[in-house]
């Protein structure tokens, strides 16, 4: 089992529904977020390209946040999901500095928080909140170890990229382009 | 009220402090989220879900409101059986929680009063507020008749108040959704195909091969099922053609983005017609069978070649030809989308007609992948006495505009200003569910009308700017806290949805149906409110429809099979269009008889003078007009609008991204607040762009007060559509000020 998320940038309209769905699902305090939208414009008018995409923790196989965590609060669980155990977290922020995706934030309650791939939903057989709510259905989630899963098939048949590949983190959020 | 009329009151007001201290639902956040997760897994099993449909916009997606054991609203999730959302709400629907939790909500009735010469609001009891409204309304009814009491409304609360108005004998009712939004396209399509486009639009985007968007920015407007279907169309390999001076989100998904010079769309469409006809690409069988006036159309568009259009639109002739051929190739599975907010330049009905004619030439009306024949189920009327026949109403007020089919808000406001030739004096006004300071342009007219009115009531959930002009403010509870009418959807097949309160109303807020009933009883028309709870009305209606509230509470949405026949025309079907002629009218005798162009013409519109830029405005996916700007969840996603400026302009004016600027328009109207610049290639050099709905004046909107600019404030020039009274708003020009023009004045 290796969980992965695949996001189709050709369909994403950058509406931020994923952001607010995560906020209500995970009680993320107002003013913070576990996922967010980026917009990239290239070219000059009227020969332009616009890419919109939803970003979050990449649940890396080679996760710098886990390596640098002094207490072991940041750890990897089955399926490759990177989690933080709040009661073991001392809020030192080393992981925030180490993350090439800027995916972590200091929760006002004193620990570091980030995307969990909605681990609590997966256990109940539900998709992550962001995936389940997306009006463009541009987000896919599943098991990369299963060659027949939707995510495996998409990565087999479509062009894709990952973010900050130069960081060597082996990320598990993929963007179809 | 005799005080100096309607000095704008910023609802910081007397005595509100005590109420504001009520416990905040925002405090539910926090604690240890991981432990919470563990707890939640237990708790989530005990989440209760309650059926509702969303009121954050007019799409009205059916949804489930989830509450925990403490009765707190935790989340709102789309109903999977609903064709409006297919189980996926948009960000505003998901963030609808914030409509409920917003700490700035109106909490108690307010009455305008004067203390030490200062106008302010005092908190009032419901009795006091409702008695005052009834007595003021009675005074107007006695002296001028019930017709002189007007209603400007939007959404679900509006329909309850419309019932009240009709009960006491007034049909002086209007909503910005018509003359400030989609009115022209309804008239334009009706004069061509015989019927309104209506809402939701019966565009078969799911199955289309070619979607043509003219200034319509699906994806930034989150008209939910359309956004979803556009995404499906992308998956299916459909071609999208977008005509927009700005690289909208939809334009960025398009194979062909035609970066048109603003205000020239009709010229482009005439040249498309020229290509379709001259190259013989139109649907000849369809046009021959269903069309009327094709020869006149052919003659008319002969001169409008792509070369002619190039000089006007700046779109290259080969691009015009290529896109016309793409459409013809996809036909009849092609949609020239009618758009939604279409009040641009004053010839908007004609522009909508040009769109309709193109659809007619391509044979897409009544065809798979074009426009389907929609169907809805009618909800039986609860047994009540018949309404009175008012002596005059919205129709007479708008009589200058022969094809107006709903009230024109700006004409209703004009009728409030006394003059010798005003035959339809409006004396009192109720505003419900719409912030008219931002939804209706021409602030001068608005202020003059509000100044002249004897009495103004505003009903809202939030202290929107317009509440500052009220004599009485009534706090409505949010859609999550009330019953409302049954949503009957017009779609591929009929469906109904119910709204059931998930929690009791917070503070001292009440549902609009209750307010309508209370006022109605005080006005002596209680027989129209023959129920104690609106729930009884729904229960009766659902029973009549073969279901029950009990069943609907469990399923939320009920889908019905079609009864009106197929969604599309059959091959060789003999079909009567509901026009006068029974045909698709390429040439409109009706328009001709009324003195209007029977076939659309291109008219040049004013262009920005030196140093000015056309003010364009639009939507952001996470906001609905101005009503969500203060919603804590949605404000968190976008808390201000920005002024989009082309880099060339920025270079000349030495503007930098995030620099604060002010705007002044052609009539010397200066923006109250500043706006941050966003230098971007996504806009043309001749226009600037901002998202509508920001720049709120009311300090009580603590999340959004003073953030960004209110585009409506700068829309002082209105180009009125002579056919149906729409208020064209895209002909205003602004210059950019880098120094604060209000430095020495207090705002």
Chain segment B622-661, per-residue pLDDT in tens: 999 999 999 999 999 999 999 999 999 999 999 999 999 9
**Does residue B495 carry a pLDDT above 60?**
yes
Inspect the interface and report whether the beta carbons of A13 and B219 lie closer than 8 Å. yes
Over 60: is that where the pLDDT of B17 sits? no
Candidates B89, B95, B621; nearest CB to A13: B621
* Mean pLDDT along residues B342-365: 98
**Region B676-682: what's the mean pLDDT?**
98
DSSP B132-157: HHHHHHHHHHHHH-GGGEEEEE-HHH
pLDDT at B11: 57
* pLDDT at residue B324 tops 90: yes
- Using the predicted structure, report yes or no on whether residue B26 has a pLDDT greater than 80: no
Q: A86 vs B32: CB contact, 8 Å cut-off?
A: yes
Distance from the Cα of A157 to chain B's closest Cα (Å) equals 13
Prediction pTM value: 0.94
Domain B189-374+570-593 is found in CATH 3.30.365.10: no
Whether residue B36 is predicted with pLDDT greater than 90 in this model: the reply is no
Instruction: For chain B, give every domain's residue range.
Output: 189-374+570-593, 613-737
Domain span at residue A100 reads 3-176
A20 vs B32, B33, B95: nearest CB = B95
Distances A32 to A110, B254, B632, B676 between C-alpha atoms, Å: 13, 33, 12, 22
Over residues B257-291, the pLDDT tens digits come to 999 999 999 999 999 999 999 999 999 999 999 99
As a whole number of angstroms, the distance between CA A52 and CA A41 comes to 9
Domain total of chain A: 1
Residues of A in contact with B41 (CB under 8 A): 120, 123-124
A137 vs B contacts (CB less than 8 Å)? 88, 228, 231-232
Q: How confident is the model at residue B3 (pLDDT cuts 50, 70, 90)?
A: very low
- Exposed, middle or buried, A87 (CB in 10 Å: 0-12/13-18/19+)? exposed
Nearest CA in chain B to A108: B30
Report, as an integer, the average pLDDT of B298-312: 98
Q: Are the beta carbons of A117 and A26 closer than 8 angstroms?
A: no
Contact B621 A14 (CB under 8 A): yes
* Confidence bin at B4 (pLDDT 50/70/90): very low
- The mean per-residue pLDDT over the stretch A145-157 comes to 97
Q: Could B633 and A133 be called an inter-chain contact, meaning their C-beta atoms sit closer than 8 Å?
A: no
Q: Is B219 close to A19, i.e. CB distance below 8 A? A: no
Mutate to test the interface with B, among A15, A35, A106, A157 (most CBs of B within 10 A): A15
Of all residues in chain B, the one with the smallest CA distance to A177 is B253
* pLDDT confidence bin for B744, thresholds 50/70/90: confident
Among A14, A84, A87, whose Cβ lies nearest the Cβ of B249? A14
Q: Which of A10, A27, A43 sits opposite B36 (nearest CB)?
A: A27
What CATH class does B613-737 carry?
A: mainly beta
Say yes or no to pLDDT of B599 above 90: yes
Q: What CATH number does the domain containing A156 carry?
A: 3.30.70.20
Partner residue opposite A133 with nearest CB, options B26, B94, B680: B94
Question: Whole-angstrom Cα distance, residue A35 to residue B280?
Answer: 51
Say if the Cβ atoms of B622 and A15 lie within 8 Å: yes
Contact at CB, A17 and B90, closer than 8 angstroms = yes
Q: What is the pLDDT of residue B34?
A: 45
Residues of A in contact with B231 (CB under 8 A): 11, 135-138
Distance CA B86, CA B699 (A): 38
pLDDT-derived band at B509 (thresholds 50, 70, 90) equals very high
Pick from B473, B516, B474, B455: which is nearest to B141 by CA? B455
In Å, what is the CA distance from B131 to each residue of B111, B126, B138, B566?
Answer: 11, 8, 10, 53
Residue B250 has pLDDT above 60, yes or no: yes
Query: Which ipTM did the prediction report?
Result: 0.96
Average pLDDT of chain B is: 94
Run of H or E residues at A55? strand A47-55
Name chain B contacts of A119, Cβ cutoff 8 Å: 37
Q: Phi first, then psi: give them for residue B613, nearest 5 degrees.
A: -130, 145
Inter-chain residue contact A24 with B95, CB threshold 8 Å: yes
Please report where in the chains the tokens 């079609």 appear, as a residue.
B562
- Are A16 and B621 inside 8 Å of each other by CB? yes
Lowest mean pLDDT among B9-13, B309-313, B707-711: B9-13
Indicate the SS3 state at residue B543: helix
In this predicted structure, the answer to whether residue B40 has a pLDDT above a threshold of 70 is no
Q: Where are the beta strands (DSSP E) in B371-528?
A: 428-432, 455-460, 472-475, 487-489, 495-497
CB pairs under 8 A between A and B: 159
Is pLDDT of B138 > 90?
Answer: yes
């Amino acid at each position: 089992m290796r969980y992965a998320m695949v996001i189709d940038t050709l369909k994403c309209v950058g509406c931020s529904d994923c952001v607010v769905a995560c906020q209500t699902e995970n009680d993320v305090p107002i003013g913070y977020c576990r996922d967010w939208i980026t917009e990239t414009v290239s070219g000059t008018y009227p020969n332009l390209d616009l890419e919109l995409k939803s970003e979050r923790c990449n649940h890396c196989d080679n996760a710098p946040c886990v390596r640098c965590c002094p207490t072991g609060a940041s750890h990897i669980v089955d399926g490759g999901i990177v989690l933080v155990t709040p009661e073991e977290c001392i809020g030192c922020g080393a992981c925030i500095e180490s993350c090439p995706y800027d995916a972590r934030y200091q929760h006002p309650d004193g620990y570091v928080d980030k995307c969990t791939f909605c681990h609590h939903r997966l256990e109940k057989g539900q998709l992550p909140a962001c995936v389940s709510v997306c009006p463009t259905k541009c987000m896919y989630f599943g098991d990369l170890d299963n060659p027949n899963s939707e995510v495996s098939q998409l990565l087999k048949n479509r062009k894709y990229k990952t973010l900050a590949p130069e960081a060597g983190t082996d990320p598990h959020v993929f963007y179809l382009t | 009220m005799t005080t100096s009329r309607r000095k704008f009151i910023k609802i910081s007001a007397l005595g509100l402090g005590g109420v504001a201290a009520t416990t905040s639902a925002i405090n539910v956040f926090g604690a240890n989220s991981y432990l919470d997760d563990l707890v939640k897994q237990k708790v989530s099993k005990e989440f209760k879900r309650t059926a509702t449909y969303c009121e954050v916009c007019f799409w009205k997606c059916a949804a489930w409101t989830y509450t925990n054991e403490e009765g707190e609203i935790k989340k709102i999730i789309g109903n999977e059986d609903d064709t409006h959302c297919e189980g996926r709400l948009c960000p505003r629907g998901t963030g609808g929680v914030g409509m409920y939790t917003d700490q700035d909500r109106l909490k108690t009735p307010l009455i305008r009063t004067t203390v030490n010469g200062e106008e302010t609001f005092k908190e009032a009891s419901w009795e006091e507020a409702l008695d005052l409204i009834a007595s003021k309304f009675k005074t107007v009814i006695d002296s001028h008749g019930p017709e002189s009491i007007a209603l400007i409304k939007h959404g679900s609360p509006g329909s309850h108040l419309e019932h009240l108005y009709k009960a006491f004998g007034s049909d002086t009712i209007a909503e910005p959704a018509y003359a400030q939004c989609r009115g022209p396209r309804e008239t334009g399509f009706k004069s061509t195909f015989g019927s309104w486009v209506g809402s939701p639009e019966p565009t078969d985007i799911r199955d289309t091969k070619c979607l043509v968007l003219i200034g319509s920015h699906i994806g930034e407007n989150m008209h939910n099922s359309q956004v979803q279907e556009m995404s499906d169309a992308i998956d299916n390999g459909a071609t999208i053609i977008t005509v927009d001076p700005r690289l909208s989100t939809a334009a960025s998904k398009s194979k062909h983005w035609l970066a048109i010079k603003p205000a020239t769309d009709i010229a482009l469409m005439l040249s498309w017609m020229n290509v379709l006809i001259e190259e013989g690409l139109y649907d000849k069988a369809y046009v021959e069978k269903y069309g009327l006036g094709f020869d006149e159309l052919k003659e008319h568009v002969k001169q409008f070649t792509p070369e002619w259009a190039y000089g006007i639109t700046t779109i290259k002739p080969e691009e015009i030809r290529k896109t016309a051929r793409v459409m013809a190739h996809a036909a009849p599975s092609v949609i020239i989308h009618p758009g939604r907010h279409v009040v641009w330049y004053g010839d908007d009905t004609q522009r909508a007609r040009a769109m309709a004619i193109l659809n007619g030439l391509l044979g897409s009306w009544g065809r798979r992948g074009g426009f389907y024949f929609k169907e809805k189920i009618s909800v039986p009327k609860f047994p009540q006495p018949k309404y009175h026949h008012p002596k005059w109403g919205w129709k007479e007020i708008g009589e200058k505009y022969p094809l107006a089919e709903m009230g024109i808000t700006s004409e209703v406001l004009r009728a409030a200003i006394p003059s010798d030739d005003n035959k339809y004096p409006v004396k009192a006004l109720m505003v419900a569910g719409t912030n008219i300071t931002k939804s209706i342009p021409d602030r001068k007219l608005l202020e003059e009308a509000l100044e002249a009115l004897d009495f103004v009531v505003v009903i809202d959930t939030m202290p929107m700017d317009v509440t500052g002009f009220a004599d009485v403010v009534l706090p409505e509870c949010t859609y999550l806290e009330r019953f409302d009418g049954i949503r009957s959807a017009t779609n591929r097949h009929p469906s109904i949805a119910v709204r059931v309160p998930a929690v009791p109303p917070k503070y001292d807020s009440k549902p609009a149906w209750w307010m309508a009933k209370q006022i109605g009883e005080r006005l002596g028309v209680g027989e129209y409110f023959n129920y104690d709870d609106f729930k009884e009305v729904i229960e009766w209606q659902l029973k009549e429809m073969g279901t029950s509230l009990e069943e609907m509470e469990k399923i939320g949405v009920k889908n019905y099979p079609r009864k009106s026949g197929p969604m599309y025309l059959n091959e060789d079907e003999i079909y009567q269009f509901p026009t006068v002629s029974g045909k698709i009218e390429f040439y409109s005798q009706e328009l001709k008889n009324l003195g209007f162009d029977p076939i659309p013409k291109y008219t040049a519109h004013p262009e920005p003078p030196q140093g000015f830029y056309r003010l364009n405005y639009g939507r952001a996916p996470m906001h609905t007009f101005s009503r969500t700007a203060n919603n804590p969840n949605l404000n968190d996603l976008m808390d201000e609008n920005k002024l989009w400026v082309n880099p060339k302009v920025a270079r000349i004016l030495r503007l930098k991204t995030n620099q604060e600027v002010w705007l002044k328009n052609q009539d010397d109207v200066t923006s109250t607040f500043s706006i941050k610049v966003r230098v971007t290639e996504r806009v043309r050099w001749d226009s600037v762009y901002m998202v509508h709905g920001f720049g709120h004046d009311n300090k009580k909107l603590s999340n959004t007060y003073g953030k960004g600019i209110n585009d409506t404030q700068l829309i002082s020039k209105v180009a009125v559509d002579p056919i149906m009274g729409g208020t064209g708003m895209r002909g205003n020009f602004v210059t950019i000020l880098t120094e604060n023009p209000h430095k020495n004045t207090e705002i």
